């Protein structure tokens, strides 16, 4: 856009991103034509009319992505078009009809209207980062650029229909614009979140809000000390016990200790679990207290050979202060057999001693001010 303020068109104007775009354009002095499916729907468009400058310079027009020519009136006499409208649907039976065709044909219908407008200077298409990140040939040494695209074959095989629709729609847009002399710019957002002007939340905001509010499904768990390997498909079986999956700092890898908390999203049946792995060393106890404040429970790992030590006392006390329900995990039980050569009864007595010691510590922490803890044990053979 040049210094002379003209008229621009914003498709899907009532949407989350488009509403902010309309606001910024009005504040910059542009006349804005916004397309919506129903200009008479007060609930959907009321927030647009409340924007500064809307009464003087905003015009709302009805348009349908799947209706040829429905954007002609909105785009005529506009100097630029911001195309943000795009279907975001979950397919029930026919993804091609429900997502792919509306995305591709909708984009082409808008561009055909752009071609018929003699005053048009530029089209800015809101695409998605999904148009370049769904691929199995990533090389961290090669930066992504305009030649990078998501794999259509991979999208189809994994049934990632939204990414496929965005990829095919953007490719179709570039082919049409290059063939018709239209100046096209594409923007590839990845994570869009923030205050909402419209009453409806964006899909990203809704997903994040669900993580924060769905107490029945979301659990944060603090685990201590370090998990040397993660099972469940995150690591190849040959790397289990060798690769320190959640130690991402070079210094952590070199010293073989955890220095910063890290987290990972796991899933049990229909329940997502956010596992926070804080350091186990006394020098980093502040990381443990921070992780405890974010969590709804705590896994306290105790080595079956090493037993309880001062840091474990500190971890249990922190769990008590934050009113967490701790779960004792007796770790590396195989060491009792392979290294100490204990008999079954000797091994049982050793483990039972650790359980009694932990329960004794928790009993000492009990107070009328805090909630009484139930303490459970889980024996593993890591």
Which pLDDT tens digit goes with each residue over 302-358?
A: 888 888 877 777 778 777 777 887 888 888 888 888 999 999 899 999 999 999 988
pLDDT-derived band of residue 209, with 50, 70 and 90 as boundaries? low
* Mean pLDDT, residues 179-189 taken together: 95
| Strand order, beta sheet including 7-11 | 58-62, 31-36, 7-11, 80-83, 122-126, 184-187
**Does 380 or 156 have the greater pLDDT score?**
156
pLDDT-derived band of residue 284, with 50, 70 and 90 as boundaries? low
Find, among 275, 25, 2, 373, the residue nearest to 10 by Cα: 25
What is the second-level CATH architecture of the domain 7-200?
3-Layer(aba) Sandwich (3.40)
Q: Would you call 257 exposed, middle or buried from its count of C-beta atoms within 10 A (0-12, 13-18, 19+)?
A: middle
pLDDT-derived band of residue 283, with 50, 70 and 90 as boundaries? low
Q: Can you tell me the distance from the alpha carbon of 126 to that of 117, in angstroms, rounded to the nearest whole number? A: 20
The pTM for the full model equals 0.57
Q: Can you tell me the distance from the alpha carbon of 258 to that of 235, in angstroms, rounded to the nearest whole number? A: 19
* Mean pLDDT, residues 83-100 taken together: 72
For residue 87, give both structure tokens: 């279907």
As separate numbers, helices (DSSP H) first and strands (DSSP E) second, the chain gives 15, 12
Per-residue pLDDT tens for 214-251? 555 444 445 544 333 333 344 445 544 554 555 656 66
144, 132 contact by CB (below 8 A): yes
Listed by start position, the domains of the chain span: 7-200, 209-379
The CA-atom distances, in angstroms, between 226 and each of 8, 21, 86, 256, 299 are: 56, 46, 45, 10, 11
Question: What pLDDT is attached to residue 107?
Answer: 95
- Is 80 exceeded by the pLDDT of residue 259? no
131, 150 contact by CB (below 8 A): yes
Per-residue pLDDT tens for 23-82? 999 999 999 999 999 999 999 999 999 999 999 999 999 999 989 999 999 999 999 999
* Mean pLDDT, residues 363-368 taken together: 66
Question: What pLDDT is attached to residue 278?
Answer: 76
Q: Quote the mean pLDDT of the chain.
A: 79
Question: What pLDDT is attached to residue 232?
Answer: 37
Q: Which CATH class is domain 209-379?
A: alpha beta
Same topology, domains 7-200 and 209-379? Answer is: yes
């Amino acid at each position: 856009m040049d210094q002379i303020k003209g008229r621009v068109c914003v498709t899907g104007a009532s949407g989350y991103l488009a509403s902010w775009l309309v606001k910024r354009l009005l504040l910059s002095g542009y006349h804005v034509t916004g397309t919506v499916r129903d200009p008479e729907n007060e609930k959907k468009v009321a927030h647009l009319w409340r924007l500064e400058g809307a009464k003087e310079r905003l015009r709302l027009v009805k348009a349908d992505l799947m209706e040829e020519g429905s954007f002609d009136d909105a785009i005529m006499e506009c100097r630029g078009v911001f195309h943000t409208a795009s279907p975001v649907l979950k397919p029930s039976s026919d993804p091609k009809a429900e997502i792919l065709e509306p995305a591709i044909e909708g984009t082409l219908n808008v561009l055909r209207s752009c071609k018929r407008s003699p005053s048009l200077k530029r089209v800015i298409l809101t695409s998605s980062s999904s148009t370049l990140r769904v691929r199995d040939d990533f090389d961290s040494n090669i930066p992504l650029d305009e030649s990078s695209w998501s794999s259509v074959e991979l999208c189809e095989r994994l049934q990632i229909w939204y990414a496929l629709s965005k990829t095919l729609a953007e490719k179709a847009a570039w082919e049409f614009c290059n063939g018709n002399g239209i100046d096209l710019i594409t923007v590839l957002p990845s994570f869009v979140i923030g205050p909402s002007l419209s009453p409806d939340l964006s899909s990203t905001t809704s997903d994040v809000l669900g993580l924060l509010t769905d107490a029945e499904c979301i659990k944060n768990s603090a685990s201590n000390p370090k998990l040397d390997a993660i099972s469940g498909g995150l690591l190849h079986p040959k790397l289990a016990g060798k690769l320190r999956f959640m130690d991402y700092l070079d210094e952590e890898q070199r010293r073989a200790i955890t220095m910063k908390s890290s987290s990972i999203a796991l899933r049990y049946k229909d329940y997502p679990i956010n596992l926070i792995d804080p350091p186990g060393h006394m020098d980093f106890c502040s990381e443990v207290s921070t992780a405890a404040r974010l969590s709804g429970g705590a896994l306290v790992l105790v080595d079956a050979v090493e037993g309880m030590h001062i840091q474990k006392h500190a971890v249990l006390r922190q769990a008590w202060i934050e009113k967490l329900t701790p779960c004792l995990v007796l770790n590396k039980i195989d060491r009792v057999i392979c290294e100490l050569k204990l008999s079954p009864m000797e091994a049982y007595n050793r483990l039972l001693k650790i359980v009694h010691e932990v329960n004794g510590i928790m009993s000492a922490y009990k107070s009328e001010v805090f909630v009484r803890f139930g303490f459970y044990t889980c024996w593993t053979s890591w």
